[in-house]
Structures are given as C-alpha cells and as structure tokens.
A and B are shown apart, each in its own frame.
Chain A
Amino acid sequence: MKAWLGLGATLLVAIGVAACAGHDWATPADLLHAIGGDRDLRSRLLFEWRLPRVLAAALVGGLLGLGGAIYQGVFRNPLAEPYLLGSAGGAALGATVALLVPLAVPQSILLPVLAFAGAWGATLLVLGIARIAGAVDAAGLLLAGVAVAAILGALRSFLMLALSDETVSLQVVLSWVLGGVQTPTWSVLGWLALMTLVCLGMAALLASRLDLLGLGETMAASFGLDVRRFVALAVLAGSIVVALAVAFGGLVAFVGLAAPHIARWLVGPLHRPLLPASALVGAIVVTLADAIARAVLPPAEIPLGLVTAVAGGPFFIFLLARRLRA
C-alpha cells in the first residue's frame, strides 16, 4: 500500500514539476490560473500546449512501462524490452511508411495500424529467429533483436531518404525516430487516456497467466496453461501497447527496460501488482525526461529518446553486468 501511495504521489509531483518546466518557467500559481479558465495569453498557452504535452508524456511513459513489463513476462527475461527486441523499431518502420507513402487511407487511421503491424511482425520475427537458432534465452533474443532492429532501421532510413520531398517534411519523421512526444489536442489526449486504460485492463487479464509462464514452460503447462497459445496472445497484447506508445512518443529507449525493474523492487514480481506499478514508474520517468528535454536547452528541445538513452543506457549496462556475473 505504501508503495502505491508513494508511486501515485511521485507521479502527481512529477506532472506538477513538468508542467512548470519549459523554456518559460511557470509557477504553480500560474498553473492554477490556467486550469481555472483564465483567458490571458500565457494561461492559454499553458493550458492548450504545455499541459496536454505533459499528460501525453505521462501516458506514453505508462504505456512503455506496461509494454516492457508484458514483454519481460512473456520472454521470462528481465533484459527483454520493446526497444531492444525490435518491436519498437518495427512500429517506427510502420509509422514511417504511414507518414511518407501516400496511400488512400487517412493518416490518423493508417499510422496506428501500421505501427501495430510493424511492432507485431518484428516481435514474431525476433522470436522465430531465436527459436530457429535454438536459443530462446537472453543472449539469443537480444542478438536476434539487434539484428532485426538494424535491418528495420536501415529500411526506415532508406524510406526516409527515398520518399521525403518538399511535401512531407523529414523533420516530422526524424522527431519520431529520435523519440519525442507530440503535443496533442485535449480530445486526442482523452482518446489516448482511454486507450491506456484499455491496455491496463487487458494487461490485468494476462497477469495470472504471466505468473504461470514464469514457472517455466513445463510447469506452466502442467498447471493448465496452453503455453504456445498464450505466448502468441501476450505478444499480440504487448505489440498493441508498444504500437500505441510509439505512435504518440516515437522511439523512446530503455524506459520499457528500467520501469519493470524498479517496479519489481517496489511491489515484487507477481504480475497483478507489477504491471500497473511498472506503468506508473514509466509514467514518472517519461514525464520527468520530457520536462528535461524541454527545459535544458531553451528555446531548442532535446529529443526525448536521447534523454532516456543517456539515463537508461548505463542502467542497462549495470543490469547486464550483474546478470552475466550471476
């Protein structure tokens, strides 16, 4: 209970701090004015631009934390992460196609659909390669993931070079690749919040079966789990979560890796508490990282993905070293 109150309070504080931060710092009083419906220009800027952006960052972070926890549960591996396993790269490739290739379908539909297809396809590909190579363990998955991510990255770069012209700006695509939360309108934000809740609900349905899978495939099967079917289902669910995060936040590294770890220290390894706790941790981390991205070099903005990579890279190295030594 203490851990939950702590997480909730930390998230609220993080959102408050992030809403104040920016190239033009606001005071908490300014924020209250803006939320209270003040019509002055500065208040409206805060309300129309900064607040939705901060909340979108929190939701994207929540999705990344949730997606990471699902992936680690499915792959039974604390080093599994959407970004490392190529599924985020697949989502980004799908998004790039949606942004650059003129198709008859409206982009608002095409983008999430292709991002999902990319995330799902890439994950299945990585799993398949690791299985053919005969090593569905940490090393096999990570190596397959690195290879698939590199191929997908090359494809994406090629598409960017070949297809961008004056009509579609490379800048838009680039901001995706480097990771960056777009500022949504309040109605889009509401839709994202709703989808995040749906994802949390979906994850809750997977929780007890993820626990069974964590006992190992033989034990899980003897306890009544249809292992193959469930893994396919959970990969699908994880891909939906990742695609949603990538659609709104681009490629953000290491949050999906770090958030489940921190959550495991706080609430333990059972998935029913772990999944929402990991989402909360992810939300806190990305909210703060996004605030840093906006506030450090005003008026320019550092891509969010660079901030999380600089902070999360050492964390990954630390985990890897500890695991290899064990």
Chain B
Amino acid sequence: MTAIAADALKVTRGDATLIDNLSLAFGETGSVALIGPNGAGKSTLLKVLAGLEAPRAGSVRVGTGDLALVPKALRACMIGFLPQHFEPHWDLAVGDLVQLGAARNPELAPDAVANILARFELTKLERRRWSTLSGGESARVLLAMVLVADPSILLADEPAAALDIRHRLDVIAALAERGRERLSVVVVHDLDLAFRYFERVVVLVGGKIAADAPAADLIADRRLDEAFGVRFERIRTAGGWSLQASKETT
C-alpha cells in the first residue's frame, strides 16, 4: 500500500527547473535516504511532498487522495516535517515547544508529551529555555516536537548536518529506526550513514531520479559515481561499506 507518492512533479523557480517530471512512491513503512549533489532538488522535493510548496505541475498523492485537497490541520497530523534549520523567534521552554507539536493531533493521549520527553531524554530539560540548549539537545527537542504527534509519514531534511558525529549518529539512527513501523524519508548528506542505516536509497540529480534501489544493491552501482561526478572506492568495513571519493581522472 502506497503511503505517499509523487506523480509527474515539476517545480520551477524563475527560469530554473528544480524538479523535472519526477514520479516516486513510498510504502507505509520503510526507511528511505534521499541523496544527491548540491542543487539536485532534494530539499525542494521534500517540501513539495510535505505540502509546504505547491508544484508547478503534477501532484502528490497521500493514500488515495490529492495532498493539495487535504485540510491543513489533517496534513499536519499525518506528515511530520523536520526542517534543515530551526530557530524559534521566541525563547520558549522545551516543554512548551513539544506541547505546540502535540497540539496538532487532537486525539493524542494525555501522557504523549511526557512519553516523548522521556524517550529523547528531555524530561530534565522540560523547563529549560531554547537559547540555553546545546546543539545535540536542540536537535532532540526538534525531533520530539515533530514526532510527538506520531505522524504516519516523516520527512526530514538533513536535520543532523550541523551536529557533531555522535549526535549525528543518534539522530540518523532514530530517523531510520522509525522506518520499521512508519515511513521515514530523510535527506542524508553523509553517504556512509545513508547506506549503513537506510533500507532504500534514492539518488536525485538535476531534479530527476538517477537511481532508486535497496541500499545493498545500490552501493556497487556505477550510477552513484556518475551522480556525484567522482570515483568512489568501496571499502568493506565491519559496519557495512565505506565510500571514499576521489576526483575522476578519466
């Protein structure tokens, strides 16, 4: 059963075509890494899938309906979106921020906020203000805000890119793990993490899909080298594969 699908999407900005006749479907569960060089249209695609940007042509379907026709409140409940950067304008407390996320799902259990705070080890920080949090703590708060409403679809735009490696691992692992019960689509910058943690990898180049396959199959695929314009050396490690890039010489 398809949870969310893009149908012949086209997105333009000015003269530039950001997404070019792109079709893609995601099931109800699964972890998907979206990778590609800068300017490939990853962030744009994610925003269109989340209903935050309207496509020029084509449509996004959720379940059997058109996403554009879904009421905004329902969409907010169904799709969780993790932006690349998040900085609230007011210095709210952690508990209040998570409460704002919880408010979008009216059918939530009363202890949902307490549970999510506990799950992301934020219980002790509940009364702390946003400005006093470290990078790792604020990343966990953002995750808690989005996940507290238990959206069936999670779309995340490199939320861990600015974190140090330990916190990046925590966040990526949490996002990928969600794919066991729900759908989790994540733009991932670090290719090693993409292939190690995610089941399916979609490669985007110039607003089109260059490759779309299970991670284990795609790792050996030459299209990966083409997509990034480099030559990858694939090194077998205990945790999976490690990709080492060098400039193409041919």
Interface residues of A (CB under 8 A from B): 76-77, 208, 211-212, 214-216, 218-219, 221-226, 264, 268-270
Identify B104's interface contact among A223, A264, A269, CB under 8 A: A223
Which residue of A76, A212, A224, A226 has the most chain B CB atoms within 10 A of its CB atom?
A224
A225 touches B72 (CB 8 A): yes
Binds A, one of B56-64, B75-83, B223-231: B75-83
Q: Is the CB of B89 within 8 A of A222?
A: no
Q: Are A219 and B83 touching (Cβ within 8 A)?
A: yes
Docked-complex contact B76 and A269, CB < 8 angstroms: no
Task: Determine whether the beta carbon of A214 is less than 8 Å from that of B104.
Answer: no
Query: Known contacts A214-B89, A215-B88, A270-B96: does B103 contact A222 (CB below 8 Å)?
Result: no
B19-51 vs A: 1/0 string, CB under 8 Å? 000000000000000000000000000010010
B101 on the A face (CB < 8 A): yes
Of the listed residues B73, B76, B86, the one surrounded by the most CB atoms of chain A closer than 10 A to its CB is B76
Verify if B107 is at the interface (C-beta below 8 Å from A): no
Whether the Cβ atoms of A215 and B100 lie closer than 8 Å is yes
A218 to B73, CA, bound (A): 14
Interface contact B100-A222, CB-CB below 8 Å: no
Q: Which residues of B contact A (CB under 8 A)?
A: 47, 50, 52, 72-77, 79-81, 83, 86-93, 96-97, 100-101, 103-104
Contact A269:B83 (CB < 8 A) given known A208-B103, A224-B72, A226-B72: no
Q: What residues of chain A lie closer than 8 Å to B83, measured between beta carbons?
A: 216, 218-219, 222
Out of B86, B93, B103, name the residue touching A219 (CB < 8 Å).
B86
Contact assessment for A223 and B101 in the assembled complex, using a CB-CB cutoff below 8 Å: yes
Contacts of A269 in B (CB 8 A): 90-92
Which residues from A are CB-within-8-Å of B50? 222
Could you tell me if A211 and B79 are in contact, using CB atoms closer than 8 angstroms?
A: no
Question: How near does chain A come to B103, taking the closest CB pair, in angstroms?
Answer: 7
Known pairs A219-B83, A222-B81; A268 contacts B93 (CB<8 A):
yes
- Cα A270 to Cα B47 with chains together (Å): 28
CA distance A212 to B100 in the complex (A): 7
The CA-CA distance from A219 to B52 in the complex, in Å, is 9
B-chain residues with CB within 8 Å of residue A215 when the two chains form the complex: 86, 88-89, 97, 100
Neighbour of A223 across the interface among B47, B76, B92, CB < 8 A:
B76
Complex: A212 Cα to B97 Cα, angstroms: 9
Within 8 Å by CB of A216, from B76, B80, B86, B91, lies: B86
| Best-surrounded residue of B87, B100, B101, B103 (most CB of chain A within 10 A) | B100
User: A269-B91, A269-B92 known; A223 and B86 CB under 8 Å?
Assistant: no
Closest chain-A Cβ to B74's Cβ sits at a distance in Å of 8
Lowest 6 CB-CB distances: which A-B pairs, in order?
Answer: A224-B76, A269-B90, A222-B81, A76-B89, A224-B73, A224-B72
Bound-state Cα–Cα, A226 to B70, Å? 13
Distance between Cα atoms of A261 and B131 in the complex (Å): 17
- Give every chain A residue within 8 A of B74 (Cβ-Cβ): 224
Which A residues touch B52, using CB under 8 A? 218, 221-222
Tell me the nearest residue of chain A to B93, going by C-beta: A268
List of B residues within 8 angstroms of A208 by Cβ: 103
The complex places the Cα of A214 from the Cα of B100 at a distance, in Å, of 11
**5 cross-chain CB contacts under 8 A:** A211-B96, A216-B83, A216-B88, A218-B81, A219-B88
The residue from A76, A222, A225 contacting B79, defined by CB atoms under 8 A apart: A222
Q: How many Å from the CB of A229 to the closest CB on chain B?
A: 10
In the bound complex, CA of A215 to CA of B81 (Å): 13
Q: Do B100 and A211 touch across chains, with their CB atoms under 8 A apart?
A: yes
Give B26 Cβ to nearest chain A Cβ, in Å: 18
Considering the chains assembled together, what is the distance between the CA atoms of A269 and B74 in angstroms? 27
Taking CB atoms, residues of chain B closer than 8 Å to A225 are: 72
Known contacts A211-B92, A214-B89, A221-B72; 6 further A-B pairs (Cβ under 8 A): A76-B89, A222-B81, A223-B100, A224-B72, A269-B92, A270-B92
CB distance from B19 to the nearest CB of A (A): 18
**Which residues from chain B contact A268 at a C-beta distance below 8 Å?**
92-93, 96
CB distance from A75 to the nearest CB of B (A): 9
Contacts of B89 in A (CB 8 A): 76-77, 214-216
Chain B proximity of A85: nearest CB distance (Å): 16
For the complex, give the distance between the alpha carbons of A237 and B72 in Å. 22
In the complex, A205 Cα to B104 Cα: how many Å? Answer: 16
Question: What chain B residues lie within 8 Å of A211 (beta carbons)?
Answer: 92, 96, 100
Across the interface, which residues of A come within 8 angstroms of B86, CB to CB? 215-216, 219
Residues of B within 8 A of A270 (CB): 92, 96
